[in-house]
Amino acid sequence: MMKRNNCNNCGTDFEGNFCFNCGQINSANNRLAFSNIVKDFFDNTFNIHKGFFYTFWNLIIQPSTVSKSYIQGKRKTYTNPTRYLVIALAALATMLYWTQSNDVIVNDSFQGFSFLSEQLNKSMRLWDLRLLTDWTLLGNLIEALVFPFGFYLLFRKLKYNYSELLVLSFYLISNSIFIVILLDGLPKLLIDFHVPVVFVFGAIIIYYSYALINFFKDIPLLKRIFFILIGLIIFVLLRFFLIPLILAILFPI
């Protein structure tokens, strides 16, 4: 009799290379080898088999297409936005460790806000530093969560919900992290040179603007540019003023 090839995970008969019931690959029925562990590590950590590098490259050249495709249901071609953000944060943490970029952030001059007290300014500064250095994961997650707010309000006519704009946000925040790594982390690591913060920040703003202009292209150009500018201002105010201010008031340092 022909030997039945059942999935070891759920017991279902295999039809092809994958179990149609649970999705496990048929090679998982074979004895575990070291090569399987290595492959699983890279697959599950970097999601390479689902297009990590493909996602990265397309988010550089056509970020709006990646985001819209994922929102519209094309989700096997591109890396999941949540996982993509986790990969970016892991890469950022590695860069900060090897380049000691936290020292530059800590020593960066901060003028504060003249309409706030000196103590409040100091506490806001310390909270912002925590979100940028010690609590990098939380800080970037907050950025990703607040980024869509302004655009959700300004582009209501296009009927995107918050979750859909969150996909765009996760992809853009993640790639902005990779831009920081490429423009600042690599030069620091290779030739011990820190690219001016203004240059890196400018590159990120240009990238955001390019992505957003194409993502909201159903709105007339001048109105679109104006709304995007307002949306970016709202984002900066929320992340770098309101959130540190609330934290400084509730938990003064």
Q: What is the pTM of this model?
A: 0.79
Q: How many CB atoms lie within 10 A of CB 7?
A: 20
Are the C-beta atoms of 227 and 155 separated by less than 8 Å?
A: yes
Q: Which is more confident, 236 or 40?
A: 236
Q: Is 9 helix (H, G, I), strand (E, B) or coil?
A: coil
State yes or no: pLDDT of 46 exceeds 70.
no
Cα separation of the two ends of the chain: 75
- Please give the Cα distance from 218 to 212 (Å, whole number): 11
Which burial class, exposed, middle or buried, applies to 118 when counting CB atoms under 10 A from its CB (0-12, 13-18, 19+)? exposed
Give the tens place of pLDDT for each residue, 9-44. 777 776 677 777 777 777 777 766 667 666 666 665
- The single residue listed with the structure tokens 């990590």 is 52
Most confident by average pLDDT, 12-16, 121-125, 141-145, 212-216:
212-216
Distances (CA, A) of 219 to 222, 225, 227: 9, 9, 10
Mean pLDDT score of the chain: 83
- Return the pLDDT at 2: 37
Q: How many CB atoms lie within 10 A of CB 220?
A: 9
Token digits for 19? 């179990």
Q: Which is more confident, 164 or 52?
A: 164
Give the range among 23-32, 47-56, 67-76, 99-108 with minimum mean pLDDT.
99-108
State yes or no: pLDDT of 87 exceeds 80.
yes
- Return the pLDDT at 14: 67
Mean pLDDT of the 51-70 span: 89
**Cα 30 from chain centroid (whole Å):** 37
Q: Where are the domains of the chain?
A: 50-250
Give the tens place of pLDDT for each residue, 103-113. 555 555 556 67
- Return the pLDDT at 209: 94
Q: Which of 209, 177, 14 is nearest to 101 (CA)?
A: 177
